[in-house]
Every structure is written in structure tokens, then in C-alpha cells.
Structure 1
Amino acid sequence: MRYVGKALRTLEGEIMALHRTSGRLSARSHRRRPLKMHAGLVVAALRHTETRIDVDPTSLSELAAMVMTIGERATAGRIGALLDTTHFPEGLTPARDWDFLRLPAAAVLIAAVAVCASLLHLPKDSNTYVIGGSAVVVLTLLYGRRVRQFLDLLGVLGGP
């Protein structure tokens, strides 16, 4: 069941990013808001079904069917109809996408580490290593397995 949970977290991230990564919308499209809302509802429905697995084991087959439907429709380009409304229980609130806050949070935390490192009066060459190592830790905490995508930022911090 732990593997199912991890796989669903990965899928949730992909669903929440579909409006950005599908290549179907411009950056300022008026269609983004409804697509983000639908993605949030789909993620909330997946989470709702996942929570029922421990109570009703047949929910696992329902969850698998939902994932298959999402995959088929995403492949067909139907990112605004990943699931039918019958999958959304009454009172379901859309999940929020907090991914847009991670990069600014990483920048602020890394800058704070850089300031703290300079205040510690460490030996001249060690500041770069302390800041770089701390940046790897901060990015790993914020991004988990996706940290490899953002390690290019360290080249900027390290200088020429």
C-alpha cells in the first residue's frame, strides 16, 4: 500500500502540472483556470478513493480504474475531462497546487544560508562549500526525488 501511495503522489504532481506541460495552452490563456480547477478535483477524487482502501479493499480496483481513465484521456489530449463528474463526491474541494511556491522558498532559504554563512566568519574558501551543500539539502527537502531538475541552480551560486 505504501508503493500505491508513492505512485499516487507522483501522479498527482503530473496531473497538477498538465495545464503547464501539455503544450496546449499559452502562458496567459483564459482556459488555464478551469483546467487547474479540474486537475484539483481529479487529485482530490484520487485522494478520497485512496483513503477508502483501508476500509473497503474493493476501492483499490476503483482507484485503478480511475488511474486508467486519467491515463487514457490525458493521452488523448482531454486534459479538461480527465474524470467524469460521477467520480467527484458531493462537497469535494479541489486540491491546491503549492508547487509554484517551492522555487521562491528555495531561493529565500538558500539566500538566508548564504547570509548566515558569511556571518559565521568561516575560512575564506569554505563559504562556497557550506552554501552549496546547504543548497543541496534545501532543494532535496523541497523537491524530493525531483531535486535533479533543480541542481543546475548550484552553478549560479558557485560562480565562475
Structure 2
Amino acid sequence: MTPRPLLWRLTPADADPWQRIMQGALAELQGLFASDWAEWINRPQDEFRTVLEHADCWAAGWAQGQPLAVGRWEALESPGTATLMGVYALPAARGTGLAAALVRQLVARAAAQGHHHIQLDVVATNQRALRFYRRLGFAPTATLPLRNPLGLDELELALQLPRRLAA
């Protein structure tokens, strides 16, 4: 029987493992994130703590405190719209359901805060990520691809969330 994924919110105390995972993600997937490994590698841990103080950042794993997948969401200026950011699963966690459980948690958190639309950007050549998000119900929007700071085209994908019923 496959164990059930554990999900937990990352706090500033989790800055060290989150920093290691994000730096590893950026090193492994050069050019597939809008951020660049070189801009993150020398950042002090305090900057990672600061992000975790303000972000709704979550981890997934088989044991509490041992994250194998991470991600976060933020509200956008457009009312009711949120974005997924920094979703990454370590190579050993791919295909295990951890990343899917994590994204479902992030989507549920955004919906619980009253958002009805959640989006993300994926580098157009990242077919693995595009297939993953499509399996979770995300679809390309009509927005034209945007060129990220690394000069790569990114596609916008979105998911409509159920609207909360008024009490």
C-alpha cells in the first residue's frame, strides 16, 4: 500500500531545507524557472526566511520535516486571481503523487481565501510540467507567451476554482 502524502506549511524555521530544495531546482532546471540559479545561490538564508514569513508555502513528503516537493501561491492584484510559484519535486519524488497532492493543497488554500482563478507560467519547452498541470485541470489561456528574464517563452496556464457560496 502506498503511504499517504504528508503536507505541511513551511515556516521561517524551514528556511534551510527550502533553500536547499529551491537552489537544487534552479541548478537542475536551468532556464525552466523565471529565476536564475546564479541570482539565488549566494542569497543569505535570512532572505529565504523572509519569504516564508509572508508566503503560503507548503511542502509534501512521506515524513514530516523531510520535504520532497515544495510550492507556494500568492494573490495577484487582479481581484480573485492567484498564482502558483516555485513548484518543484525532487527527482526521487517524481511520479509518486507528492507534487499533485501539493498543488491540490495550494489550489484549495487559494480557493479558501476567495480566489476563483489560479494561474501559473511554464516555460514553453518544459513538456513534463505542461503535461503535469494539464492532468490537474490547468489549461492554456489566450494570453500570448511572454519572454522571461532568461529569454525563454513562458505559457500561462489557468484553473477556474469553485466560487464560495454566500452564507
Q: What is the TM-score with the length of structure 2 in the denominator?
A: 0.21
Q: TM-score, normalised by structure 1?
A: 0.22
Relative to its length, the structure with more strand (as a share) is 2
Which protein has the larger Cα radius of gyration, Structure 1 or Structure 2? 1
